[in-house]
Amino acid sequence: MIFHTRDFNITEKLDYFAAGASVMYGLYYTPIRVFRLDQNSQAKQSVLRAWTAICISLYLCHVTYLTAWSWDYTYNMAANVAAGIVQNVLWSWFSIQRYRKLQKTWAAWPGLIVAWIILAMSLELFDFAPWGRMVDAHSLWHLGTVGPTIWWYSFLIKDAQEDLASHRLKA
Ligand SMILES: [Zn+2]
């Protein structure tokens, strides 16, 4: 928010690195939930440790490249879109599997949220001249992310409740 009102070197860096960290965190936890890497088996714990190290390294390389090598907008966008697409594919696939298994509408939410995000993301990729010199594609992208954030939070709650209920049944 500060960057969008005060465009300085430091605010730009903070905006980009925070956005990158948020995308990276999404990429990190998606396989943890989809493949249940949070479960307490030796093999899964080792995979989780390796995945954690990979994600931290990738993020540090990303920040180092942008800071020490070149402040490359095209690379930054490509890296974020690539990380985003991987999560989108995983969540869409997961959503289809879960919907088939549970037969509950909310199980399909991640797929629908992904579709919404892709539509909003197209505003980032297909930029246009601002309407009335005020409303630009990037502001609409930010506006478009409000809805799916709330929706996503509701899904996470439903998913956790479902998990708890299925564990109670097994116990
Ligand atoms: Zn922004």
Proportion of the chain above pLDDT 90, given as a percent: 81
DSSP run (H or E) holding 109: helix 109-125
According to the model, what pLDDT value does residue 162 have?
92
Q: What amino acid is encoded at 171 in this protein?
A: A
According to the model, what pLDDT value does residue 39 have?
87
CA of 124 to the centre of ligand 1 (A): 10
CA distance 164 to 171: 11
Give 124-138 pLDDT, tens digit per residue.
888 899 999 989 999
CA of 153 to the centre of ligand 1 (A): 21
According to the model, what pLDDT value does residue 169 have?
75
Write the CA distances from 79 to 30, 36, 44, 52, integer angstroms: 17, 25, 27, 18
CA of 126 to the centre of ligand 1 (A): 15
Two tokens, residue 147: 């809805």
According to the model, what pLDDT value does residue 4 have?
87
CA of 159 to the centre of ligand 1 (A): 29
Q: Where are the domains of the chain?
A: 1-71, 73-171
Give 94-151 pLDDT, tens digit per residue.
999 999 999 999 999 999 999 999 999 898 888 899 999 989 999 999 999 999 999 9
* Half-sphere exposure (Cβ direction) of 38: Cα atoms closer than 13 Å: 9
CA distance 52 to 20: 16
Give 25-84 pLDDT, tens digit per residue.
999 999 999 999 998 899 999 999 999 999 999 999 999 999 999 999 999 999 999 999
Do 57 and 24 meet the contact criterion of CB atoms below 8 Å apart?
A: no
CA of 111 to the centre of ligand 1 (A): 24
Does residue 171 register a pLDDT over 70? no
